[in-house]
Amino acid sequence: MIRVSRKLLLSNCSLTRLRGIQARGLRCSAAMRNARNGGNIYTYQQISQRNDRIQKIVLSLLGFSAFSYGVWHFYWPHHTFPKPVAQILRKGLWAESDKEQFDYQKALKFYIEALDKCQELKVDPISDEYTGIELKVAEMYEKLGMLDEASGVYLELLYRYFDALNTEGKIPEDKRPELIRRDLRILIKSLETNKDVSTGKRNLLAHLLMAQEEVLSRSQELKQFFERRKEKAKIIFQGKALDASDFKTFVNEENLKLDDEGYMILDLQKDSSAWEPFKEEFFTARDLYTAFCLSSKDIAAALSCKMTTVEWMVMADMPPGQILLSQANLGSLLYLQGEKFEAEIFELEGKRDKDPSLRSDEPMIKALRHLHRNRDTCLQMATQCYDSVIQFAKKNNKLRFNMKDQLDPSVSQAIALSTYGMGVLNLHQGVLAKAEKLLKDSISMAKEIDFQELLNEARNELDKAETLRLETGKQER
Closest CA to 130 of 112, 116, 108, 115: 115
Percent of the chain whose predicted confidence (pLDDT) is above 90: 40
Model confidence at 195, pLDDT cuts 50, 70, 90, reads confident
Banded pLDDT at 316 (limits 50, 70, 90): confident
The pLDDT value recorded for residue 423 is 93
Which of 5-14, 17-26, 284-293, 437-446 is most confident? 437-446
Contact 46, 20 (CB under 8 A): yes
Label residue 66 by pLDDT band (50, 70, 90). very low
Structure confidence at residue 397 (pLDDT): 67
Query: What pLDDT shows up at residue 430?
Result: 86
Q: What is the pLDDT of residue 359?
A: 86
List the helix and strand counts (H, then E) for the chain. Answer: 18, 2
Name, of 128-137, 224-233, 308-317, 396-405, the range with top average pLDDT. 128-137
Q: Among 141-145, 272-276, 330-334, 399-403, which stretch is predicted with the lowest mean pLDDT?
A: 399-403
Peptide bond into 84 cis (omega under 30): no
More confident residue, 297 or 74: 297
pLDDT digits (tens, 9 = 90+) for 4-54: 332 322 233 444 343 332 222 223 333 333 333 333 344 455 555 555 555
Integer CA distances (angstroms), 201 to 187, 190, 271, in order? 11, 11, 31
Please check the confidence at residue 72 and state whether its pLDDT lies above 80: no
Q: What is the DSSP letter of 319?
A: -
Listed in sequence order, the residues at least 6 apart from 201 whose beta carbon sits closer than 8 Å to its beta carbon are 289, 292, 296
- At 88 the pLDDT is 95
Write down the H helix ranges in 121-260: 128-143, 147-165, 176-193, 197-218, 220-238
- Which domains can be identified in the chain, with CATH numbers? 28-67+227-249+281-476 (no CATH), 72-220 (1.25.40)
Please choose, from the candidates 249, 331, 333, the residue with its C-alpha nearest in 3D space to the C-alpha of residue 290: 333
Query: What pLDDT does residue 108 have?
Result: 97
Supply the pLDDT for residue 64: 43
> Do 273 and 218 form a contact (C-beta atoms < 8 A)?
yes
C-alpha distances (whole Å) from 218 to each of 104, 275, 301 are: 44, 9, 26
User: What's 42's DSSP letter?
Assistant: P
pLDDT-derived band at 219 (thresholds 50, 70, 90) equals confident
Decide if pLDDT at 381 tops 90.
Answer: yes
How confident is the model at residue 185, as a pLDDT? Answer: 92
Which 8-state DSSP code applies to residue 43? Answer: P
373, 243 Cβ separation under 8 angstroms: no
Judged by average pLDDT, the poorest of 154-158, 297-301, 472-476 is 472-476
Average model confidence (pLDDT) across the chain: 78
Residue of 380, 348, 387 lying closest to 366 (CA atoms): 348
pLDDT digits (tens, 9 = 90+) for 257-269: 666 665 666 565 5
pLDDT score at 292 = 87
H helix or E strand, kind and range, residue 405: none
Indicate the range of 58-67, 114-123, 302-311 predicted with least confidence. Answer: 58-67
Query: Are the C-beta atoms of residues 115 and 137 closer than 8 Å to each other?
Result: yes
Tens of pLDDT, residue by residue over 100-159, are 999 999 999 999 999 999 999 999 999 989 999 999 999 999 999 999 999 999 999 999
pLDDT, residue 262, reads 58
Alpha helices in 396-431 (DSSP H): 397-401, 410-428
What pLDDT, on the 0 to 100 scale, is given for residue 134? 95
Query: DSSP alpha helices (H): ranges in 265-361?
Result: 279-295, 299-315, 320-354
- At residue 63, φ and ψ (nearest 5 deg) are -115, 120
Average pLDDT over residues 304-317: 87
